[in-house]
Chain A
Amino acid sequence: MAHETAGHPNPDHAHEHPTWKQYKWVALILTVITALEVWAYYIPALVASVFFVPLLLIMSAAKFAIVVLFYMHLRYDHRLFRLLFTGPLTIAMATLIALLFLLARTGALHVS
């Protein structure tokens, strides 16, 4: 981080931004994944299987990543922004998981 001041004399990356063609494909992929998610919801055998939750989480994470990388153009932007986003996101996810571990366990005692 110490040398972040160097190496980016021209921060204006506007010309590298994705174009309409890319945006269109991104939108299409997002739509397809959303359709798959909803479809999965209506397959009782899948819902009952152990794959259901991981599958949905993966699809959701994929959509999340696609929007962040392309629509929020994090893939094309200054790496400082990547740091500003992934750092807090990591701490937020770690906190969320720790809380679920701590509280979902104690709670399991009084769920019938």
Chain B
Amino acid sequence: MATVAASPTYTTAGARRTGIMDWLTTVDHKKIGTLYLHTALFFFVVGGVEAIIMRWQLMRPNSTAVSAEVFNQLFTMHGTTMVFLVIMPLSAAFFNFLIPLQIGARDVAFPRLNAFSYWVYLFGGLFITIPILFNAAPDGGWFAYTPLTGKAYSPGQNMNFWVLGIQILGISSLAAAFNFATTIINMRAPGMNLMRMPMFTWMSFVVQWLIILAFPVITIALFFMQFDRFFGTNFYVSAAGADPLLWQHLFWIFGHPEVYILILPAFGLVSEVLPTYSRKPLFGYPVVAYSGILIGFLGFGVWAHHMFSVGMGPIADTVFGVTTMLIAIPTGVKIFNWIFTMWGGAIRFTTAMKFAIALIAMFTIGGISGISHASPPSDLQQTDTYYIVAHFHYVLYGGAIMGIFAGIYHYFPKWYGRKMDERLGSIHFWLNFIAFNLTFFPMHYAGMLGMPRRIYTYDAGQGWETFNFLSSWGAFLMAPAFLIFIWNFFRSKTRGEVAGDNPWDAATLEWSIPSPPPEYNFAQIPMVTSRYPLWDLTHPERMKDIPHSMDGWDEAKLRTGEHVTATGVHEPDVAPMHIESERKSAKELGIPMPNPTIKPLWVAAGILVLFSSLPVMYAGKTLAAFAMMAVGAVMFVGFLYAWLTTPMEDAH
């Protein structure tokens, strides 16, 4: 296919706004996904630079490149950035882009709420990131243990930005979670019953539930900290009789499900990538789905394994040790499912496939080191050492980030209509893979030799020098690997090989429509009969063992009929599974699409102003703070009413 062909564009006839306003007002889930993707990649650079400065400092003993105070800010913000501003939003980019496409929907359940989630994320991310430019960034660790982070020991503004920033980001995650969970429950195409959903959608569904149930807990824990810091309450003040472990428990009740919030979307992505490039259906689909649910459920019963060293007593230690070992079972099951998916398949080693295989291998290493600290006695030797740092980077970088890279290479053609360069992709993969292992594998040894986490420097002669030197060089090598990726990413948008609608010969609904998808996604909503609807058409020979039925079809037809007779205006246009390659505008097809609107952005801005008033109050400027609160509240309420009283779509 010629690479000079005109780039397909998003905007079809009838676009009402252009340029920047188009992005500020969009309610299209694909564009919001694009916004998430780019913003998260930007924060990836920020978090990466923070990591590289830390590795520069730790490369040699007794280094003085940065002060202890700056180092505290660096590791706090590196963790916070990577967890809340990079991996979660990268996953959200895929939730946005993929969930409606995979389940055969034209948009999410609440398109404007979706835009709101993005803007809150952007504002929250900037709120928590900008202070580092003024040497005032949060410095109490990404877990912000009290009483260190209380007013008595952290009197500066630093932790205020953390506690408020995470609160803002929580609003974004929760709003998005209600939205996506509703979308998955309620917007599936006829015949797309739960056991036919693509595995990415399944894992996303579990993740939305984890967010819905875990984020309220951190919200409350943060409110307590906020009240302690701003209003003088006693929740974490030991002198008043407070239990110093309360924060830790509440934080990890959120924090452990959060770990699965970070990893499960990547598991979902590789569960799409592996069958496609192995040219075989996913091995044991129901088991992969159920093990995902089980991980989500058990994820609420393991939190205190982060706290073995605080002395909870033998009963609690035993219970949490056992549940932690139990949760390894569904995780291990997935690993075997992926291996058996590849077994006997006709494998194509594309870049996406390489990253997916890397996830299996690297996550397994991280998982095994994880089991080694599921046992409290063993954990006591490892806790707060670099061994833990090695473990969770194998899980989160080797797992989540590798999976997300696999997803980006795999879905780029659907997103932009062009492929990313495979040669550059291969270089990126190998350089990244080597740099990753060079960085984090030596940390196992440094940790076993007793090097504590979070120290800003160390003395020579403790046997840590070589390992730190290697780790630092690994980190420095990751930068060029990432730059190659970024170059490839942006270049391929306009100059990549034109991909066609289904370049990887994949099996799910998103590949049955043009690349990039038109704004309405599906001109006719497909009615599916199996979990690989597209292979039903293109590769029936692969579908021998896959169950087929027309479950849900009659009901859909019935309801369609009802609608026609009841209102006489609109018939949800469904059709048996088919491939769409025509690109018409929604107007031509008569498909009602939600109108673009700026109001969600303004509501989000109102929230930002409201939260920003608190640091102003903390600085003693009470009057200015009250003025900001008033402005923020008026913005929030006013634009919310304006949003709710404006119809989502034009009357038709």
Contacts and interface: CB of A to CB of B under 8 A. Distances in A.
B316 A5 contact: no
B185 interface: yes
B578 interface: no
Interface string A1-32: 11111100100000000000000000000000
Given A6-B551, A6-B552, A95-B253, A106 B194 contact: no
A80 B555 contact: no
Contact of A2 (B194, B300, B301, B312): B194
B313 interface: yes
B2 interface: no
A103 B236 CA distance: 13
B300 A1 contact: no
A43 interface: no
Given A88-B213, A105-B313, A95 B300 contact: yes
Interface residues of A, number: 22
B246 A103 contact: yes
Interface in A70-112: 80, 88, 91-92, 94-95, 98-99, 101-103, 105-107, 110
A103 B311 CA distance: 12
B193 interface: yes
A6 B551 CA distance: 8
Contacts of A9: 555, 558-559
B213 A102 contact: no
Given A1-B194, A6-B555, A105-B313, A91 B243 contact: no
A99 B249 contact: yes
B249 A91 contact: no
Given A5-B555, A80-B185, A103-B243, A91 B300 contact: yes
Contacts of B193: 2-3, 5
A2 B555 contact: no
Interface in B179-234: 185, 188, 193-195, 212-213, 217
A102 B243 CA distance: 11
B287 to A, nearest CB: 14
Interface string B544-555: 000000011001
B304 interface: yes
A80 B300 CA distance: 22
B100 to A, nearest CB: 18
B245 A103 contact: yes
A15 B189 CA distance: 29
Given A5-B551, A9-B558, A107-B243, A88 B212 contact: yes
A91 B213 contact: yes
Contacts of B212: 88
Interface majority SS on A: helix, strand, loop or mixed? helix
A99 B217 CA distance: 12
Interface majority SS on B: helix, strand, loop or mixed? helix
Interface in B238-264: 241, 243, 245-246, 249, 253
Contacts of A110: 241
Nearest to A92: B213
A64 to B, nearest CB: 19
A103 B253 CA distance: 14
Interface string B457-475: 0000000000000000000
Nearest to B194: A2
A79 to B, nearest CB: 13
A108 to B, nearest CB: 11
A99 B248 CA distance: 11
Nearest to A4: B194
A102 B312 contact: yes
Given A1-B194, A2-B193, A80-B185, A103 B213 contact: no
A92 B551 CA distance: 35
Contacts of A4: 194
A86 to B, nearest CB: 13
A102 B316 contact: yes
Contacts of A3: 193, 551
A2 B313 contact: no
A109 to B, nearest CB: 10
Contacts of B194: 1-2, 4
Interface in B554-569: 555, 558-559
Nearest to A99: B249
Nearest to B241: A110
A56 to B, nearest CB: 24
Interface string A49-66: 000000000000000000
A99 B300 CA distance: 12
B312 A106 contact: yes
A102 B314 CA distance: 11
A78 to B, nearest CB: 11
Contacts of B316: 101-102
A25 to B, nearest CB: 34
A56 B562 CA distance: 49
Contacts of B253: 95, 99
Contact of A106 (B243, B301, B555): B243
A92 B53 CA distance: 41
A1 B241 CA distance: 47
B221 to A, nearest CB: 12
A1 B195 CA distance: 9
Contacts of B559: 9
Contact of A102 (B185, B249, B558): B249
A110 B217 CA distance: 26
A95 B243 CA distance: 17
Contacts of B552: 5-6
16 contacts: A1-B194, A3-B193, A5-B551, A5-B555, A6-B552, A9-B558, A88-B212, A94-B300, A94-B301, A95-B300, A101-B316, A102-B304, A102-B312, A103-B249, A106-B245, A106-B313
Interface of B: 185, 188, 193-195, 212-213, 217, 241, 243, 245-246, 249, 253, 300-301, 304, 312-313, 316, 551-552, 555, 558-559
Given A5-B552, A95-B217, A106-B245, 17 more contacts: A2-B194, A2-B195, A5-B555, A6-B551, A9-B559, A88-B212, A91-B300, A92-B213, A95-B253, A98-B301, A99-B249, A102-B316, A103-B243, A105-B313, A106-B243, A106-B312, A110-B241
Q: Which 4 A-B pairs have the closest CB atoms?
A: A2-B195, A2-B194, A5-B552, A5-B193
